[in-house]
Amino acid sequence: MVSQTTNSVTLSEQSVPKEKPQHSRTWRAFWHHPLGLLGVIGLVIIVLFCFVGPIVYPASAYATHISDLMKPPSARFPLGTDDLGRNYLARLMLGGQVSLIVGFAAAVASMIIGVGYGLVSGLAGGFLDGLMMRIIDVLLTIPALFVLLFLDAVFQPNAFLLTLILAVTSWFGVTRIVRSEVLSLKSRDYVEASRAFGANNWHIMVRELLPNVMGTVMVATIFQIAASIIAIATLSFLGLGLPAPAPNWGEMLSTSMNYMFQNAWWLIYPPGIALLWTLLSINFISEALQSALDTRL
């Protein structure tokens, strides 16, 4: 009788399917989202174009061909040449490297700063939280463009400086998001249980709060990547980006505006399409990830 009961319990336990972990369900929902799959494919294509393309098509982006100024696309120059006779396809690939590397690096750096600041502020609460938020309010009153203009006049722009500037001027939004999440999480039972067992604030931030805000942080970071790429293109369009002859998509768009009415379409559309393609892919990924993380869906 006892063996029959044991067997029945064992069979019933085996028949109950085990629930998949939350992160497994999230990624499964992300990959089944049509926008997520489309965004990943689009981003992979643009990354391969920018980083593998120069290996497959090893043309110089800086060499000038005096006899081939403003040439339309041909077998020798698939995307034509610019006003200095430079290979436009090679410049498009190299310019994409700068935009992607600086954009991703600036977004990751701003995420690290914003997450750390938001965790400390939200967990501390009280006077310290209020003081830290007032500092954020003061920093938000300083126009980022003014800071960029000042630093551009003092220092020689380079990729590291652009990354640093964008990171320093774009972490405030991540901080506010993380702080609001921490304020709602720090009164949960599992946090109180950790305190009861003697856990310090560092343990609570790293082991209890950080894993529970990472989903929101990932979505905010992906949005920040798109914002950083737009900022790089805008600065370069205004002449505040990397100095010539280093190419990037914003600088190429700015230069092409001078030939807008000269039927030089190959100078205008390629960098615009590449920039639009990248931003749409990133936005598709963020939209799919946000939907996958939303438990209400």
**pLDDT tens digit string along 201-253?**
788 888 888 888 888 888 888 888 888 888 888 877 777 777 777 788 888 88
φ, ψ for residue 153, nearest 5 deg:
-80, -30
User: Is the pLDDT reported for residue 74 higher than 90?
Assistant: no
Q: How buried is residue 16: exposed, middle or buried, by Cβ count under 10 Å (0-12/13-18/19+)?
A: exposed
Instruction: Note whether 220 and 128 are within 8 A (CB).
Output: no
Domains in the chain, number: 1
Residue 46 pLDDT level (bands cut at 50, 70, 90): very high
Q: Give how far Cα 92 sits from Cα of 59, 80, 290, Å.
A: 11, 11, 31
Is 280 within the bounds of a domain?
Answer: yes
Q: Which CATH number does the domain housing residue 119 bear?
A: 1.10.3720.10
CA distance 146 to 221: 24
Is 94 within the bounds of a domain?
Answer: yes
CA distance 45 to 136: 38
Q: Give how far Cα 295 sits from Cα of 26, 100, 282, Å.
A: 9, 31, 22
| Lowest mean pLDDT, pick from 14-28, 33-47, 52-66, 125-139 | 14-28
**Model's pTM, two decimal places?**
0.79
pLDDT at 295: 52
Q: Please, how many CA atoms are within 13 Å of residue 180, restricted to the half-sphere of its CB?
A: 7
Beta bridge partners of 81: 87
Segment 121-179, tens digit of pLDDT: 888 888 888 898 899 888 888 777 777 777 766 777 778 888 888 888 888 888 888 88
Is 64 within the bounds of a domain?
Answer: no
Residue 22 pLDDT level (bands cut at 50, 70, 90): low
Is 73 within the bounds of a domain?
Answer: no
Q: How buried is residue 216: exposed, middle or buried, by Cβ count under 10 Å (0-12/13-18/19+)?
A: middle
Is 95 within the bounds of a domain?
Answer: yes
Instruction: Note whether 250 and 237 are within 8 A (CB).
Output: yes
Is 69 within the bounds of a domain?
Answer: no
Q: What DSSP string describes 38-93?
A: HHHHHHHHHHIIIIIHHHHS---SS---GGGTTPPS-SSSTT-B-TT--BHHHHHH
Domain that holds residue 222: 22-56+85-293
User: Is the pLDDT reported for residue 4 higher than 80?
Assistant: no
CA distance 55 to 93: 10
Residue 257 carries which DSSP code?
Answer: G
Among residues 265, 267, 230, 236, which one has the least CA distance to residue 250?
Answer: 236
The per-residue pLDDT of the chain, averaged, comes to: 81
User: Is the pLDDT reported for residue 33 higher than 60?
Assistant: yes
Is 212 within the bounds of a domain?
Answer: yes
What mean pLDDT comes out for the span 67-96?
Answer: 88
* Other beta carbons within 10 Å of 151: 17
Q: Please, how many CA atoms are within 13 Å of residue 55, restricted to the half-sphere of its CB?
A: 7
